[in-house]
């Protein structure tokens, strides 16, 4: 973010936890919304950029000159995650899987964007009102919960459980450390 030239454009891939964790994650989200025009968030399924079980997002933002007003006016979120299943071998993601996102994104014409079932607009005030500015926003019903054929493979599910447990363990370690520091 700091090396981006004024009026520069960027797309950054980040793991899912950056969208909802407190602390540094919340600080980054607030900074993105206030100092940059954070205009688009692409939610990707597990295993696309990171190991299986880790969900990723692509954040699209432009650097704006310093101002008293927040640079972001609204954030468009495109959900390519819900009801999508990609694997490295049986069903790898291909360019055609991004065609609907590209059509919704309308490079160079955000004013003309329209909401669809997979693409929604969220005003800045609504984002800032969320607890810890949590940007892990979803609205689509996950049909994988009803259709066993859409469920992830056992190794993907296990990887997700391991990732969640590792994150929880790290949080517990931080709490224990903070408590230990208060006791001394």
Q: Which domains does the chain show, CATH number per domain? A: 9-183 (3.40.50.150)
Reading the block at residue 62, the tokens are 């432009």
- Distance between CA atoms of residues 101 and 21, nearest Å: 26
- Distance between CA atoms of residues 7 and 64, nearest Å: 5
Q: How far is CA 107 from CA 60, 64, 132, in A?
A: 11, 18, 30
What pairing do the DSSP bridges indicate for beta strands 74-79 and 36-44? parallel
Asked if 130 contacts 29 with a C-beta cutoff of 8 angstroms, the reply is: no
- Distance between CA atoms of residues 60 and 38, nearest Å: 6
- Distance between CA atoms of residues 172 and 40, nearest Å: 33
Reading the block at residue 104, the tokens are 């919704």
**pLDDT at residue 123 in the model:** 96
**pLDDT at residue 124 in the model:** 95
**Burial of residue 20, with CB atoms counted within 10 A of its CB: 0-12 exposed, 13-18 middle, 19 or more buried:** middle
Count each helix (H run) and each strand (E run) in the chain, helices first.
Answer: 4, 5
pTM, full prediction:
0.74
How big is the chain by its Cα radius of gyration, in Å?
18
**pLDDT at residue 181 in the model:** 78
- Distance between CA atoms of residues 91 and 172, nearest Å: 37
- Distance between CA atoms of residues 32 and 37, nearest Å: 7
Per-residue pLDDT 10s for the chain (184 aa) are: 888 998 899 999 988 888 888 888 899 999 999 999 999 999 988 777 766 667 889 999 999 988 899 999 999 999 998 877 776 677 788 899 999 999 888 766 777 788 999 999 999 999 999 999 999 888 887 765 555 665 666 777 677 677 767 777 887 788 788 787 776 6
């Amino acid at each position: 973010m700091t090396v981006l030239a004024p009026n520069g454009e960027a797309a950054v891939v980040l793991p899912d936890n950056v969208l909802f964790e407190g602390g540094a994650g919340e600080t980054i989200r607030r900074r993105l919304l206030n100092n940059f025009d954070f205009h688009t968030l692409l939610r990707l399924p597990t295993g696309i950029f990171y190991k299986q079980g880790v969900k990723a997002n692509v954040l699209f933002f432009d650097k704006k000159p310093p101002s008293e007003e927040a640079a972001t006016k609204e954030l468009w979120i495109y959900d390519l995650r819900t009801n999508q299943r990609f694997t490295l071998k049986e069903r790898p993601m291909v360019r055609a899987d991004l065609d609907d996102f590209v059509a919704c994104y309308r490079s160079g014409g955000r004013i003309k964007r329209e909401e669809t079932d997979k693409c929604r607009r969220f005003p800045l005030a609504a984002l800032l009102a969320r607890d810890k500015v949590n940007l892990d926003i979803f609205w689509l019903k996950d049909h994988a919960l009803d259709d066993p054929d859409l469920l992830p493979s056992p190794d993907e599910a296990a990887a997700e459980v391991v990732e969640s447990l590792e994150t929880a363990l790290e949080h517990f370690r931080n709490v224990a450390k903070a408590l230990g520091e208060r006791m001394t």
